[in-house]
Amino acid sequence: MELFGIWIAAFLTLCIYSFLYKDNPFYRFAEYLFVGMTVGYGIVLSYHQGFIPFAWEPFMDVFTGESLFGLIKLIPIGIGLLFFSGLSSRHTWLIRFPSAILIGVGCGLAIPNVLRANIFEQTRGTIEPFAAINAGTLSGMEIFSAILMVIGVICTLTYFFFSVEHRGPVKWVSKIGIAFLMIGFGSAFGNTVMGRVALLIQRVDFLINDWLGSFVALF
Amino acid sequence: MLTKLVNMDRRIVFILVALAVIIPMLFPISLPVSISEPTQNLYEFIDELPADSAIMLVFDYGPSSLAELNPMAKAILKQCFDKDVKVVGLTLYAVGTTMGSDLMKEIAEEKGAVNGEDYVFLGYRPGIELVILGMGTNIADIYETDFYGTPTTELPMMENITNYDQIELVVDLSSGNLTEAWITFANVQFNQQIAAGVTGVIISQMYPYLQTGQLIGLISGIAGAAEYEHLIQSHAKGTLWINVESFVHLLIIILVIIGNIAFFVQRKQEE
């Protein structure tokens, strides 16, 4: 059975890589199969690990007399079912209720935490090294990094500041900002190349060691 | 000649890349591994944990990212089981469920760790933010059973683990933006220590969090996985693959240089 799985995986891997020559039905078959299986697997898992323990089982407990707590689940289940009103043009307005609740809860949970994680903490991280410079606990290189970071932050933010026309000194500051952005994009691109090549290496490793290895096991 | 180089069929590049992968894989060589500070920090944090303390290992990735993240997960699990550190495994990414379960079983068998005593795999629950926040109050409220159906409260390992107060560290292995969700909700709301292992695509996004201490450590792509394997002295796929990767990077650099020279020389000739 394991051998069968290896051969199926090898066949699908070769189907996907056949795209490097040109688009073909084998590639499309493997692509659609991957997308379909991912969605199908996700739905089944969400049903078994989400709907069953959080909605169905508590609801069923009401009928078995185990607990009346499940009755309260009727409220979120009912609100959730309103999403399906989008299927009927007459009742599609009902979808606003679950959407509004989702957006409201999402914003309420996210805004204070995101502000702290991504604005306040990042601002603290940018300024904090200067307190250490004042205390004399940073090395020369660390002081240079701290100053460079502040210059980068100011110049990059200036590039995205559109309330003032980018002329004169503002133009030059924003140009330095572009240079910092380019370095950031370059770093991201380099890491992305590393990631993509790793995917290729893993598949080649599979083809050489597992698939071709299975030939050796067969004969 | 130059025109030919600039207009070279891209399939020749594919063949060259394939050769740069296949040849070093058939004839492996060992290149030196230098350890980056974020990887070292994570290793030391786990290494200094007392026996019987617990970490949470989150498998927030699917099969399309296993090349980079599976070697990290294996290395961390090996370190934890060797150190008698308990591991609570889970995922917020549906597709990662079976993979996480199989991987924990594989390393547990190798290291003689017992399910329910040395590690648990809780599986998947939908609703990212709500799951992270809910576990801050009570893990068993969110995961009433583990992935295999055993009630969480009946698992011996979970007797003393109620919420993040008993979890020393959350290590999020992620191929998307879920690490940011862990930082935003678990770190900000519950002051939970977070570390991450991420794919190459999102490494750059993680560095600001390292600088502020919101992440205590970071394993960066396949290079980070190789570093971690080196630290735990268990050289496996991460080390093999980063050696192969070095040859591909060398080829890419050569091709970029040749391409640029050809482009500029040709432009000068046209002028």
Residue ranges per domain, chain A?
139-219
Phi-psi region of B6 (alpha: psi -120 to 50; beta: other; left: phi over 0): alpha
Nearest to A191 by CA among B235, B21, B88, B175: B175
Give mean pLDDT, residues B124-148. Answer: 93
pLDDT in tens, B91-106: 999 888 999 999 999 9
pLDDT at B163: 94
* Among candidates A46, A118, A191 on the partner chain, residue whose Cβ is nearest the Cβ of B221: A191
Are B200 and A200 within 8 A, CB to CB? no
Interface with chain B: mutation pick from A21, A47, A49, highest number of B CBs within 10 Å? A49
Residue A24, pLDDT > 90, answer yes
Q: What is the pLDDT of residue A170?
A: 92
CB contact under 8 A, B125 and A49: yes
* Residue B26 domain flag: no
For the segment A16-43, the average pLDDT, to the nearest whole number, is: 94
Is residue B42 in a domain?
yes
Cα–Cα distance for residue pair B66/B98, rounded to 1 Å: 12
Give percent of chain A above pLDDT 90. Answer: 62
Stated length of chain A: 219
Amino acid at A105: V
| Rounded percentage of chain B residues whose pLDDT exceeds 70 | 100
Can you tell me the distance from the alpha carbon of B115 to that of A113, in angstroms, rounded to the nearest whole number?
A: 35
Q: Residue B179 sits in which domain range?
A: 37-245
| Closest partner CB to B223 (pick from A116, A194, A199) | A194
Q: Could you tell me if residue B191 is inside a domain?
A: yes
Residue A106 has pLDDT above 80, yes or no: yes
Q: What rounded mean pLDDT belongs to chain A?
A: 90
If pLDDT is split at 50, 70 and 90, which confidence band does B42 have? very high
pLDDT band with cut points at 50, 70 and 90 for residue B142: very high
Buried b (16+ CB within 10 A) or exposed e, B115-140: beebbbbbbbbbebbebbbbbbeebb
Q: How many CA atoms lie within 13 A of A47 on its CB side?
A: 6
B180 CB-near residues (< 8 Å, 6+ apart):
A117, B205, B209
Pick the closest to residue B92 from B184, B191, B172, B197 (CA basis).
B172
Report the alpha-carbon distance of residue B121 to residue B104 in Å, rounded: 8
Q: Which residues in chain B are closer than 8 Å to A193, comparing Cβ atoms?
A: 200, 249, 252
- What integer pLDDT is reported at residue B266 of this predicted model? 85
Q: Report d(CA A121, CA A113) in Å as an integer.
A: 11
Total of domains in chain B:
1
The whole-number average pLDDT for the span A181-210 is 93
Mutate to test the interface with A, among B218, B241, B247, B253 (most CBs of A within 10 A): B241
Task: Determine if residue B195 is left, alpha or beta; phi over 0 gives left, psi from -120 to 50 gives alpha, anything else beta.
Answer: beta
Residue B57 located in a structural domain:
yes
Indicate whether B4 pLDDT > 80.
no
Between the CA of residue A122 and those of A127, A156, B33, what are the distances in Å? Answer: 9, 15, 31
Distance CA B194, CA B172 (A): 7
Average pLDDT, chain B: 93
In a domain, residue B18? The reply is no
Whether B96 and B124 have beta carbons less than 8 Å apart is answered as yes
CA dihedral for A142, B40, B214, B200, sign (positive or negative): positive
Nearest to B124 among A45, A193, A205 (CB): A45
- pLDDT category of residue A214 using cuts at 50, 70 and 90: confident
Residue in chain B nearest A190 by alpha carbon: B200
| Structural domain includes residue B17 | no
A22, HSE (Cβ side, Cα atoms, 13 Å): 1
Among residues B193, B171, B179, B199, the alpha carbon closest in space to that of B89 is found at: B171
Tell me the CATH number at B188: 3.40.50.10160
Partners of B56 in beta bridges: B88, B170
Q: What is the 3-state secondary structure (H, E, C) of chain A?
A: CHHHHHHHHHHHHHHHHHHHCCCCHHHHHHHHHHHHHHHHHHHHHHHHHHHHHHHHHHHHHHHHCCCCHHHHHHHHHHHHHHHHHHHCCCCHHHHHHHHHHHHHHHHHHHHHHHHHHHHHHHHHHHHHHHHHHHHCCCCHHHHHHHHHHHHHHHHHHHHCCCCCCCCCHHHHHHHHHHHHHHHHHHHHHHHHHHHHHHHHHHHHHHHHHHHHHHHHHHC
Q: What percent of chain A has pLDDT over 70?
A: 100
pLDDT number for residue B58: 97
Evaluate whether A45 touches A56 at the Cβ level (below 8 Å): no
Q: Would you call B249 and A194 a contact, using CB atoms and an 8 Å cutoff?
A: yes
Confidence bin at B79 (pLDDT 50/70/90): very high
Whether B127 is in a domain gets the answer: yes
Segments of chain B assigned E as strands:
54-60, 86-91, 119-124, 167-174, 194-198, 218-220
- Does B270 fall in a domain? no
Q: Any idea what the Cα angle at residue B197 is, between residues A39 and B166, rounded to 5°?
A: 95
State the burial class of residue B67 (Cβ atoms within 10 Å of its Cβ: 0-12, 13-18, 19+). Answer: buried
Report the alpha-carbon distance of residue B41 to residue B84 in Å, rounded. 19
Q: What pLDDT, in 10s, does the model give residues B213-223? A: 999 999 999 99
